Amino acid sequence: MIGKVLGGRYEILEKIGGGGMALVYKAKCRLLNRYVAVKILRSEFTNDEEFVKKFKRESQAAASLSHPNIVSIYDVGMEDDIYYIVMEYIKGQTLKELIKSKGALGIELATNISLQIASALEHAHANHIVHRDIKSHNIMIKDDYTVKVTDFGIARAVSSTTITNTGNIIGSVHYFSPEQARGGYTDEKSDIYSLGVVMYEMVTGRIPFEGETPISVALKHIQEEPKKPRNINSKIPKSLEDIILKAMEKDVNKRYSSVTEIIADLKQSLIMPNGDFVKKNVTADENTKIMEPIRYTDVKEELDRKIKAEEKTKKSKSNKKITVLAILSGLMLAVLVFAGYMFLNSIFNVKVVKVPNIIGYSEEDARKELEALGLVMDVAEERVFNKDVPEGHVVIQDPKPETQNKITNPVRVIISKGPKKVEVPNIVGKNYDEVDIILESYGLEEGEVTQEYSQFPSGVVIRQSITPGLTVDEGTKIDYVISGGPEKFFMTDFTGTNIEEVKNQLIVLDLILGDVSEEYSDEIPAGSVIRQSPKAGTEVSKKSVVNFVISKGPKEPEKKTYLNVNLPKNLDTMKVTIFKIEGDKSSLIYENTHTPADSPLKIEVNGTGEVLFEVYINNSFHDSTIYRF
């Protein structure tokens, strides 16, 4: 398969994984020049109609989903009996691999990963798609711990007429819900159970049920209770254990009714790790039954019945004695029944009121507000930091506002400790791109950002509004100024300007005089600029270096003279070369072969001013002469 091109564009590069029914390859899309993952149905299943259906179902299910925590599907195809799906290539590792390498994950990391998986499932369930195979092997973790849920290989769209496949057990046995293990009804709550197993595995480092055979593991899911996570890892907060065990309830009616509820409780657990806020769902049989009120007529009928019964069974007694005893018994029964009625009435006829919104109220005002309605306030011992709610005010309440609540049930509240105090970091010298990350890591927010020219590189912070090291409230905004680099302007045209005037202008413009060279010019007066670098109109900044070529004035007309060269007598033949040197310029003016008989040579030369002539014999220096024309 390596090297094969599918669909005329997907070049298979290497195998990167595989599951029970498909192999996964890394490939390159030639059209978009990007890496992709290609899932290919195993060859042994291409003739199996049921497996092909499952494979097609995966593509249809996953392709309809668009979520940052779900692997994107790009393309689906079939070529030469090869069924394939093209999807997003994820660089990272599976959650299973992460747990194997690290063991039990940290609580915050495990909670963060759980929230991302739950968010992906929430989106899928909202689109009537149940994954049915949630396990740590199907969760990809990128290097930045972003989660990607993969392998909707046995997912199936939920409809009103059929929401399960009862013909066979699907999924992976260690993550089965009890209903999957029985091969029965499965829906969104099966995903919730499997998510609970994955969460259990993350915080304990092991799966809840193990066995020698898949059947024995499946039976444990149906019959046995998992060992409590906190008995394995004491660092697990109580609230997180409660969430995991509720998700793993064997009775679907006792589980979370939706992934949305799990998300809410997971977020709450980050605020109240040891809180007791996870509500248990009770089944219909466990609910308290409401009895009909006991009526006075019922008491009278019971009394009459007792009297008649006494008369029939006590024939040996006198009528008067029977009547007295019956009345006494009846009165006692009436008292007991009436007491029972009053007791039951006090239990079942409790006043119900609507819970007000007390979030943001001071503890005292919140208590008064609740007591005015006959409600009791229960304040948690543990307070929490909150940047939006002042210290001493209610930040969380349970039940929520507008909820109907019996006056015998207390309203539980958590009081704010106010904003957390944090230290201001030093961001001067940091690049603009990293400032928001630094501030966020300290619990601070980015304030107003302005820019001004400076000698510092563009984009570097040069000032901040609050001195580093000071302590401020969490969430405080930090204003800062970034450098726009040196101020830019267009280079002046100095052509034709005397070099002394140029020097004065450079000082005004805060520019630096660089190299100055000279050359003759018939157009530009001596001492004035012929050329400059950078050129006029070029955008420059202060402190830029400017180089100039200035005029020496018109070149004098050349004069002619003769150069006499005495040749050595000890050579039969020789090559004679003569160079003319004016300033820093050298030019070859003569080259020929001679014999001693040609000596002395008389060579015509010309020039202006002072000129040096150098003579070389066979490429070795022979003589030099200076002429002043």
DSSP secondary structure, 356-387, as one string: P--TT-BHHHHHHHHHTTT--EEE-S--B--S
H/E stretch holding 594 reads strand 585-594
CA distance linking residue 366 with residue 360, whole number of Å? 9
Does the annotation count 493 as an active-site position?
Answer: no
C-alpha to C-alpha distance for 79 and 488, rounded to whole angstroms: 60
Q: How many CB atoms lie within 10 A of CB 422?
A: 17
What residues have CB less than 8 Å from 67, skipping those under 6 apart?
119, 120, 123, 124
SS3 167: coil
Kind and range of the H or E run holding 480: strand 477-483
What is the three-class DSSP state of 294? coil
CB atoms within 10 A of CB 424: 19
Q: Which two tokens stand for residue 18?
A: 């595989």
Residues 109 and 81: beta-carbon distance below 8 Å? no
- Determine the Cα–Cα distance for residues 250 and 367; give it in Å rounded to an integer: 40
| Secondary structure of 170-229 as H, E, C letters | CCCHHHCCHHHHCCCCCCHHHHHHHHHHHHHHHHHCCCCCCCCCHHHHHHHHHHCCCCCH
CA dihedral 394, 396, 400, 404 (to 10 degrees): -50
CB 118 within 8 A of CB 188: no
Residues 108 and 240: their CA atoms lie apart, in Å, by: 11
Residue type, 460: V
- Residues 48, 80, 81, 133: which is the catalytic one? 133
**What is the sign of the dihedral through the CA atoms of 243, 247, 250 and 253?**
positive
- Residue with tokens 């510092």, as numbered in its chain: 456
Number of C-alpha atoms within 13 angstroms, CB side, residue 518? 15
Q: Strand pairing of 512-519 and 545-551? A: parallel
Catalytic positions, written as ranges: 133
